[in-house]
Amino acid sequence: MPLTRRHFLQAAAAAATSPLFAHRSLANVPLGAGTLTTVSDGHLTLPADFIFAPMPKDALAPILDQYGIADGPLTPECNLALYRDGTNTVLFDIGSGPDFMPTAGTLLEGMETAGISPEDVTHVVFTHAHPDHIWGLLDDFDEPLLPEATYMMGRAEWDYWWNPETVNTIGDARAAFAVGAKRRLEALESMVEFFDPGQEILPGIASIASHGHTPGHMSFELRNGSDSALVIGDAIGNHHVAFARPDWESGSDQDGPLAAQTRMQLLDRLANEKMRAVGFHLPGGGLGRVELAGDAYRFVQEDA
């Protein structure tokens, strides 16, 4: 079945009245002398095939049973990382806004829950430009939601969505993604700052190429004293199949083979270095650690 924006909206509307719609998660831990918080933007409601379509069904079924993933739509959390070091307050991504799904777009409420006002945010750093990460950029008047912040995006990601040919090559199911991204990038054009992989974009924050989910997807290593964490965006997009079989291609990724390679590298590093991870769609606020589980991995939520 080809997945279109209509399928997403139908699934989201059906779930908007369920108890899951009220679910909000918040995680808050020290990172050296700084603080790492996750802010809820609600959750998505996705057709299961959006992720599982390219996977072998017989091998997939026991994994879904193990993780208690039932038939029906998936409802992953949307967790934005926010890092405060005493000088800067850095928000990673800016959520969905009101125009993507009725179950998401609650960033301002999430920030209020975390005790953070919009004026506190000094920088917004984007992992990538999919709707749930960038469509919240504009307010009801098509002005930047956080007008005092500095906006930062990887150069390759910007170039991909800025290219007028992207809407013609991304496929019908994601054409609206391209149109929506371009409109928001146009609003940022005069104020955005670009960076490249491996660059220290702010004190204690380094960019890491994690391409595949989108062509220029970026992750970010945070270091404060001896503490560290990795903001991974959608490079590891769920807590079940992405950990049990990171080598499998996911329907959510634009370049499946490259995304699988990236995912395996990140999981290996996180497990070996025992580094905290912040995943946009991971459960319990998205903050935790990665552990080896035989020949696979598992996500362990942070006790925050």
- Report the pLDDT averaged over residues 158-168: 98
Q: Would you list the DSSP string of 42-106?
A: EE--B-THHHHTTS-HHHHHHHHHHTT--SS-B--EEEEEEEE-SS-EEEE----GGGS-TTB--
Q: Are the C-beta atoms of residues 71 and 48 closer than 8 Å to each other? A: yes
Average pLDDT over residues 105-112: 96
User: Given pLDDT bands bounded at 50, 70 and 90, which one contains residue 24?
Assistant: low
Residues 198-256 have pLDDT tens digits of 999 999 999 999 999 999 999 999 999 999 999 999 999 999 999 999 999 999 999 99
What is the model's pLDDT at position 7? Answer: 43
Domain limits of the chain? 5-301
Q: What is the pLDDT of residues 31-77, one digit of tens each?
A: 999 999 999 999 999 999 999 999 999 999 999 999 999 989 999 99
Provide the sign of the torsion angle of the four alpha carbons 276, 281, 282, 287, taken in this order: positive
Cα separation, 188 vs 192, in Å, equals 6
* Residue 89 reports pLDDT greater than 50: yes
Looking at residue 2, its pLDDT comes to 44
Q: What is the DSSP string of 256-287?
A: HHHHHHHHHHHHHHHHHHT-EEEETT-STTSE
pLDDT at 172 over 90: yes
**Cα separation values, 107 from 92, 113, 116, Å:** 12, 10, 11
Q: What pLDDT shows up at residue 302?
A: 87
Amino acid at 38: T
Q: Specify whether the CB–CB gap between 160 and 132 falls below 8 A.
A: no
- Residues 91/124, Cβ–Cβ less than 8 Å: yes
pTM: 0.92
Q: Which residues contact 294 (CB under 8 A, 6 or more apart)?
A: none
What is the C-alpha radius of gyration for the chain, rounded to an integer number of angstroms?
A: 18
For 115-155, the pLDDT digits (tens) are 999 999 999 999 999 999 999 999 999 999 998 999 999 99
Predicted confidence band of residue 191 (pLDDT cuts 50, 70, 90): very high
Q: What is the mean pLDDT of the chain?
A: 92
So what's the pLDDT on residue 98? 93
At 235, the amino acid letter reads: A
Residues 6+ apart with CB under 8 A from 115: none
**For residue 26, what pLDDT is reported?**
77
Name the CATH superfamily housing domain 5-301.
Ribonuclease Z/Hydroxyacylglutathione hydrolase-like (3.60.15.10)
Strand partners for 206: 200, 221
What is the pLDDT at residue 27? Answer: 83
First and final CA of the chain: distance in angstroms? Answer: 40
Place of tokens 């660059």: 199
Nearest one of 6, 14, 2 to 74, comparing CA atoms: 14
What is the rounded distance in angstroms from the CA atom of residue 114 to the CA atom of residue 174? 32
